[in-house]
Structure 1
Amino acid sequence: MALSGCSSSPSRPDAGPPPVDAGTSDAGDDSDAGSDAGTSDAGTDVPPWDGTAETLPERTDHVDRRPFSDCAFTLPVGAPVAACDDVSLFDRTSCPSDAFDSLDSVGFYAMEANGPYSLQLPLDGGAGDLTGRPLTRQEVGAGSFFFASHAPASRVSPPRDSVFAGCTRPTPDRINGCFVVCAEGKVRSKGTFTAARTGLRARGESESSGLTLVSESAVPLGYAVDVFVAKGHAYVVATGSNDRLGGLAVLDVKDPAHPVLKKVLQLPNDTGWNGVWAKGDALYIASAKAGVIVYDISNPADPQYVRAAPGEPTIVHTVHVQGDRLYAVVPSAGDAVLVFDVASPLSPVLLNKISLQRGFSGPHDSFAYGDRLYVSYTDSGYVAFDVKDAEHIQELGAYVFGRQYAHASAVGTFAGRTIAFEGGEFEGSHLRVLDVTDPANMRLIGEYQLRPETSIHNMVLHGTRLYIAYYHEGVRVLDVSVPPKPREVAYFNNYRETDPGRDGNIFTGAIGIRVPGDGYVYVVDTHRGLLILREP
């Protein structure tokens, strides 16, 4: 681990208040900044937790759930085959004849076979594709789920054909079946698959439960990705898309039912804005080119550019503020978390740089709590640092497992234990509840997961409730007063296949979330913009 001091400023203790029990997240000392702090949720009907919990085995994000179906391609691997898409070569005697009587001919499916695939059947009825490759056969609709695609030769593989035959439809949003891959006139591989149409609500859910949509505001930029609420305004950042640039949208939300777009800000040749936070009169934006962009929001409707820190081109992906510290995450190839003193919010001073210098992807996000910084270090795991002395930061421990992609977290104190709610990204990623009281011996004590084809993104801990932006699964609210047993108490399904620009990508839907404590939940949807939800 490289720790390089970048300032002659004297070391100083963390300015934030001490941890508060019942899950209160310490996100800053400016009550008007719309922090993610909160008080304990006293409305739970669950008996108080005594702090004890069993250590659970780590099952990783990549659980092999095969076989998915009884159907099979009848020829063995290595056998000659004249036509890979010959329907008669699929044994589907166990498949119900009416399994697909009500099947749509359109929709987006996340598939698992011998790896992840995405099947896109355009809503206009046009030709579909499998993970970007055009379908060579497309028989999907009432009575049938059968399709094929061709992959040209690559540096390591000859040309090959993949054919998928549906068998059962256990739930309206899921199809199971079998597949074969052929190359050079022979059967190369075969097996079973499952395909989830994540645009269809699972588990018999309605649009919402426990959350009410108050307003929806389009963001006239690329993909909206994050939001911070301060001074009666929502600051929404967006990263560039194929046809629109990224930037900042400022919305007056003093009347949550009627947000007013006040301003849109962009900088030349800088469209990768991915994170946002506020402290006092300062707004901090994570830029993939300029580092941390600082705006003056003393007039909240009209941010004024101040400077970029640290003053040289830097890729910053996320920002996080606790007390008088700003943490800016620099992913690969920079592989660092920049630590700034923001006692003077408009004038960040670089104090240090944390770097593990291992793994491939670098850090993604950070969460400061008390004297510790918890860094979601993607393929290097979930890592805790002692940051009490900014010039002498030490690694304390990590939670690591195979093929990990630690992505985001929130931390609080429950029954005297320090508990981290940690989530990954990509298929199979889900919520882990970790006891990190002893950071050198982090323990898995609880989990929460919906469909394995979907991924969570960000989360906010407010009292004893955890708010999750869960991409295709929408917004999920968990009662975590008993951390080993997270209990869903509310949801809002914001993902819709019919929204303009949707393509089934796993990383679209509910992506950013804030809970400033005003009775509302502010959610960013990559395509719908800013959604404001009211809790009962």
Structure 2
Amino acid sequence: MKSAFWIRTALAGALTFSVTESTVYAHDELGGSVEKGENLAGSELVVPLLEGSKNVGNLQEVAAVPLKELKEGVKNSTADVYAHKGFAYLGTHSANGGAGGVRVFDMKDPSNPVEVSSFGSVEGTWQEKVIVKTVDTPDFKGDLAVVSVQQLDRFNPDTKGGFLLYDVTNPKEPKKLGFWESPSPARGTHELYLTVQDNNIYVLTADCYADYYSHGENMDVSFVDVTNPANPETIYEFDPRDYIPEVSDENYDGYNWTDEEGIKRTAFAHSVKTDGNGTTAYLSYWDLGTIILDISDAKNPVYLGRTDFASTVQGSAHSMDLAKGGNVLVETREVFGPVRDGFETSYGYTMLYDIKDKTAPKLLSTFKTDFTGKVPGGSTVHDPKVHGNTLYLSHYSGGVRVVDITDASNPVETGSYIPSKSNIWGVFVDRNYVLASDMGSGLKVLQKKGSSNDANANTAIQTP
């Protein structure tokens, strides 16, 4: 039975939601801010700004490719970007009715990406996140893609949220394998991750607000066994009340949380990821920080620890990546509202933690980008991608920022890429190019000057 705390806060949350339901599709949805970057002015540069020190100065924009129209006159906006075996996979967002599916680009010639197929388009939903991996199980062998599915209107009985599974062994001819329907009354799966653990294949989902909207009947994070992609099976749901001493029914209702210092905060699962061998999971849980779980036994995870924030810092743990062989955690915090009573005045920025001891993450450094004179209105950080000792950050109107983290306690920005009217959602490093998804204009490709377009090239762009 839920405590009096839930009863007191549910009405306030419902009232907030009723105001924003028709226009806000992302985070923090209940708090009324917009995640997608549509409230940022964007750079009005006539030509892309690309500058940096060391090798970053040798980068150039070699391609800027819009998405094809699946329906005549309907332009979809891009979401996240992923790459696998020489193909780029772009998710799509909610603009103009969503249903944009995943777009697949052949990257054989990075200066001329060719959109060769699309898959996963579902009316009344959008397909933001896509992960692709090569798997080998008794039920499926090949390249498996998992695609998040979110409803535009969670009250529409004709739509369902969750995730889709596709065979993309031949990326030009994707084949649907299965669908997992989220059991919660929320919109469906926002972000997700596909991980391989020995002979088992799992999808971890972040279904934002599932806990809150279901009054605790469903959880924000599910682990789904997709070893047989045609028959996804939920094997576990994560409830922070069961693991974290600072969280209980007395101070948490699935969204509203009062921390141990009496500060009112927000806590919900936004993103999920694992390490390379699939045995440690990282849950980006907004003001609860990044929650770290040992999932060696995926049906019985063990709580290890979490990141925490000073009383004056807005939490908003949005996404993460690992560096230094998994010993450093890079945590990006999405804050669009830089002014909030009782907190520092700042857009979202990046935090780096020493997690050699995962039970006690230790803050090493923070990284903020100075947008003065370059980006109107400033910008929050969005997603991180680490390649070697280089950190790539997508920053909406702030473009892509390149950061040297050789010394994780002293990150140094070494380059930036800001296209005209920039609205960069995601970034991904593959082979000898950097991919960026621009919500307004599609796929952007950066490459070293004079670099070979050989599809077998495997030297990624880095700053030494």
Instruction: Sort the TM-score into its range (normalised by shorter chain).
Output: 0.5 to 0.7
| Aligned with 1:353 (options 237, 244, 268) | 237
Q: Tell whether the 8 Å contact from 2:117 to 2:172 is kept in structure 1 after alignment.
A: yes
Cα offset, 1:241, TM superposition: 0.9
Are residue 328 (structure 1) and residue 205 (structure 2) matched?
yes
Alpha-carbon distance change, 254 to 429 in structure 1, aligned in 2, over 3 angstroms: same
| Aligned with 1:269 (options 112, 119, 123) | 123
Distance 2:427 2:92 in 1: 14
SS at 1:491 equivalent: strand
* Deviation per residue, 1:70-106 (Å, 9 max, x gap): xxxxxxxxxxxxxxxxxxxxxxxxxxxxxxxxxxxxx
SS at 1:323 equivalent: strand
Q: Tell whether the 8 Å contact from 1:217 to 1:528 is kept in structure 2 after alignment.
A: yes
Cα offset, 1:245, TM superposition: 4.0
| Aligned with 2:100 (options 234, 246, 252) | 246
> Relative to total residues, which structure has the larger helix share, 1 or 2?
2
Are residue 524 (structure 1) and residue 430 (structure 2) matched?
no
Cα offset, 1:399, TM superposition: 1.6
Q: Tell whether the 8 Å contact from 2:102 to 2:130 is kept in structure 1 after alignment.
A: no
> Relative to total residues, which structure has the larger strand share, 1 or 2?
1
* Deviation per residue, 1:99-157 (Å, 9 max, x gap): xxxxxxxxxxxxxxxxx999xxxxxxxxxxxx99xxxxxxxxxxxxxxxxxxxxxxxxx
Q: Tell whether the 8 Å contact from 1:270 to 1:290 is kept in structure 2 after alignment.
A: no
| Aligned with 2:414 (options 467, 489, 505) | 489
Distance 1:207 1:535 in 2: 12
| Aligned with 2:83 (options 229, 232, 254) | 229
| Aligned with 1:362 (options 252, 257, 268) | 268
Are residue 378 (structure 1) and residue 286 (structure 2) matched?
yes
Q: Aligned residues, how many?
A: 329
Q: Which amino acid aligns with 2:271?
A: D
Q: Corresponding residue for 2:163?
A: 292
Cα offset, 1:492, TM superposition: 1.0
| Aligned with 1:449 (options 368, 372, 387) | 368
Cα offset, 1:267, TM superposition: 3.5
Q: Unaligned 5+ residue runs, structure 2? A: 1-31, 70-74, 135-142, 151-159, 212-218, 242-251, 256-266, 337-346, 372-377, 450-464
Are residue 429 (structure 1) and residue 348 (structure 2) matched?
yes
| Aligned with 2:65 (options 217, 221, 240) | 217
Q: Corresponding residue for 2:301?
A: 393
Q: TM-score, normalised by structure 1?
A: 0.56
Cα offset, 1:478, TM superposition: 1.4
Backbone CA RMSD of aligned residues: 2.9
Distance 2:410 2:230 in 1: 42
4+ residue segments displaced more than 6 Å: none
Larger Rg: 1
Are residue 533 (structure 1) and residue 446 (structure 2) matched?
yes
Q: Tell whether the 8 Å contact from 1:227 to 1:522 is kept in structure 2 after alignment.
A: yes
SS at 1:441 equivalent: coil
Distance 2:120 2:383 in 1: 24
| Aligned with 1:463 (options 383, 388, 398) | 388
Q: Tell whether the 8 Å contact from 2:50 to 2:60 is kept in structure 1 after alignment.
A: no
Distance 1:409 1:311 in 2: 23
Q: Tell whether the 8 Å contact from 2:207 to 2:269 is kept in structure 1 after alignment.
A: yes
* Deviation per residue, 1:456-503 (Å, 9 max, x gap): 111111111111111111111112111011122222112x34xxxxxx
Q: Tell whether the 8 Å contact from 2:120 to 2:127 is kept in structure 1 after alignment.
A: no
Alpha-carbon distance change, 482 to 262 in structure 1, aligned in 2, over 3 angstroms: same
Distance 1:487 1:466 in 2: 10
Cα offset, 1:346, TM superposition: 6.1
Distance 2:363 2:117 in 1: 44
Are residue 302 (structure 1) and residue 227 (structure 2) matched?
no
Identity of aligned residues (%): 23
Distance 1:446 1:238 in 2: 33
